[in-house]
């Protein structure tokens, strides 16, 4: 699996604030959209995300930092309360399903307490094709999840997940190969 670069950012800059407000306005509109208005919901996601494949479906109470760093393939599904902290790029392949209450977190902060709240770093996340992420999972910065893999509900993914694997636990460990 490839080594991923840390992207450093300063919190509180006007540029970051402007980008964050843009995303939050679109997220607010998305989350307040009438349930039956799937056309408008898809339009908002296409405006918010960096790229979107065919037939995206995201349940309400979705949240993200910037939006434009999120790239999803065809037939993407995210359950209720999905949070994607996209200070770095998040790439999700085709036919992926994300259960409810899942967090994908590219962002992190220094372990040194001085000025920890003023800056941060982010490392990209990549999720392959045909991946199923169960409810209440957490995917940490820099993780790559291989094609066809399953992440069992409640797992905390701290290491890359090989293709055709089922992982579970905190920290997530390989249970079996598919």
| Active-site amino acid positions | 109
The one-character DSSP state at 13 is: -
Q: In 88-158, where do the E strands start and end?
A: 90-92, 97-98, 103-105, 107-108, 119-122, 125-127, 132-133, 138-139, 144-145, 150-151, 156-157
Query: Edge-to-edge strands of the sheet including 70-72?
Result: 51-52, 70-72, 90-92, 125-127, 144-145
Return all residues near 109 (Cβ < 8 A) that are at least 6 apart.
116, 117, 119, 120, 121
Contact 112, 92 (CB under 8 A): no
């Amino acid at each position: 699996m490839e080594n991923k670069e840390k992207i450093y950012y300063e919190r509180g800059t006007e540029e970051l604030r402007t980008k964050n407000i843009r995303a939050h306005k679109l997220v607010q509109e998305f989350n307040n959209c009438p349930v039956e208005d799937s056309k408008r919901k898809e339009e908002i996601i296409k405006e918010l995300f960096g790229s979107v494949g065919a037939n995206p479906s995201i349940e309400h109470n979705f949240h993200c930092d910037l939006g434009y760093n999120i790239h999803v393939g065809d037939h993407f599904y995210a359950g209720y309360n999905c949070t994607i902290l996209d200070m770095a790029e998040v790439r999700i392949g085709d036919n992926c399903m994300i259960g409810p209450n899942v967090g994908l977190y590219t962002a992190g902060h220094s372990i040194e307490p001085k000025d920890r709240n003023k800056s941060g770093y982010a490392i990209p996340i990549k999720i392959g094709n045909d991946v199923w992420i169960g409810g209440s999972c957490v995917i940490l910065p820099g993780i790559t999840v291989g094609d066809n893999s399953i992440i069992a509900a409640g797992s905390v993914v701290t290491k890359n997940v090989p293709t055709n694997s089922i992982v579970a636990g905190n920290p997530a460990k390989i249970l079996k190969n598919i």
